[in-house]
Amino acid sequence: MKINKNIKIFFNYFLGPLLFIWLCWSIYNQVRQQEGLTESWVQIKASLTSAKIIYLVAVIALMAVNWMVEAYKWRLAIKDVQQMSFLRAFKAVLSGVSFSVSTPNSIGDYVGRVLYIDEGKRIKAATLTVVSNTSQLLVTIWMGLCSLYFLKEPLVAARIISLLWFDALFYIVALSAVILLIFYFRVSWMAKWINRLPSGQRFSWSIEALEHFNATVLLRLLSLSVTRFFIFILQYFLLFQLFEVDLSFWQAWTGISVLFLILAIIPTIALFTDLSVRGSLSLTILGLFNANQLGISLTSASIWLINLIIPALVGSVLVLGIKRIFKSKNENA
């Protein structure tokens, strides 16, 4: 009981407020250090006072839809371990975002989500979350790989990468994509195989839920991941219109797909390096199609703010509400 009380005190009065303050301060420093901040602010004000403001409204609405789809996908992935309402799953996903922004490659996402899982089921839920996230990674890699193929000549011609390094990168990514795809659709078989190993018995309790994944569920997870990917591309395209970056939808699709592929490969800590990395990569890749560097930079920063930082701030506030979860559990005990 003492441990539970200490956990409640930690979440109620320390972690939530600290996470919120830390995020606000870090965001302020990150934005303040960006180059061309004055010019960017002038462009933002001009865009917000024009009829194109509807594009920004649509992007924000799509952000909400995006995380709702992710909440539904995660709820589907963990249903055999714990039944969860959509609202609670949505809160868990946003809480996961608040933890992920300050950890390498968003690993903290698992921590934020499993806080909403009943005690004793959290390791199993985290295992299932890996499969759910793998479906998104699969879509990112395959979309990026296809787009990389179409951008081969422009990338080499612009001397962004040599032909030798391009071919090496392409085949390495292709091999990884095939292996990951096999792993994804054979996850239940792999769980059964591990259970048969003498040393695998120690982990059987944590991976037994993987055996319930069938092709139907895995395909549903993939389809939801494709939906999220399309939402990302549409958000970028709308912001390109807002900030007067003249790109066709195909150019936006291929450029952003390659951008997402690179971001999935390189290790980053979202809050400290993600904005600068995104900005630099966006200018390099999308600069192949359009010379409006300010517009590209503003689009990249806006996506970072809308899709990541706003949900993270909301999630950090929701962490404060975890005390109600603990309270309800104690009342039911």
Q: Is 193 a residue whose pLDDT tops 60?
A: yes
Quick one: what percent of the chain has pLDDT higher than 90? Answer: 44
- What is the average pLDDT across 249-268? 89
Query: Which sign does the torsion angle of CA 64, 127, 20, 38 carry?
Result: negative
pLDDT (0 to 100) of residue 259: 94
Q: Tokens in use for 106?
A: 């968003």
Local structure of 264: helix, strand or coil:
helix
Contact 220, 262 (CB under 8 A): no
pTM for this prediction: 0.83
Mean pLDDT across the stretch 196-210? 62
Among 159, 148, 162, 168, which Cα is nearest to 284's? 159
User: In the prediction, which pLDDT does 258 show?
Assistant: 96
Determine the distance from the C-alpha atom of residue 111 to the mean position of all C-alpha atoms in its chain, rounded to a whole number.
Answer: 14
- Cα(222)–Cα(253) distance, integer angstroms: 19
More confident residue, 120 or 78: 78
Q: Work out the average pLDDT over 173-195.
A: 85
Alpha carbons 11 and 7: distance in angstroms, whole number: 6
Residue 332 has what pLDDT? 44
Of 62, 5, 3, 20, the C-alpha closest to 319 is 20
CA separation (Å) from 222 to 138, 179, 192, 292?
Answer: 8, 16, 22, 34
| Mean pLDDT on 40-58 | 77
Indicate the range of 38-52, 260-274, 318-332 predicted with least confidence.
Answer: 318-332
Give the lowest-confidence range in 19-33, 134-148, 196-210.
19-33
Name 270's bridge partners. Answer: none
pLDDT on residue 294: 78
Q: What is the pLDDT of residue 70?
A: 97
List, for residues 72-115, the tens digit of each pLDDT value.
999 999 998 899 999 999 999 999 998 887 676 677 788 889 88
pLDDT for res 326: 47
pLDDT tier for residue 199 given thresholds of 50, 70 and 90: low
How does residue 68 score in pLDDT terms, banded at 50, 70 and 90?
very high
Averaged pLDDT of the chain: 81
Which string of DSSP letters, residue by residue, matches 226-251?
A: HHHHHHHHHHHHHHHHHTT----HHH
- Between CA 298 and CA 54 the distance in angstroms is 16
- Complete DSSP assignment for 6-61: HHHHHIIIIIHHHHHHHHHHHHHHHHHTSTTHHHHHHHHHHHHTSTTHHHHHHHHH
Asked if the model's pLDDT at residue 166 lies above 80, the reply is: yes
Output the pLDDT for position 328. 47
Averaged over 213-233, what is the pLDDT? 94
Q: Which tens digit of pLDDT belongs to each residue from 28-41?
A: 555 555 555 566 56
Among the residue ranges 63-67, 184-188, 195-199, 252-256, the one predicted with the least confidence is 195-199
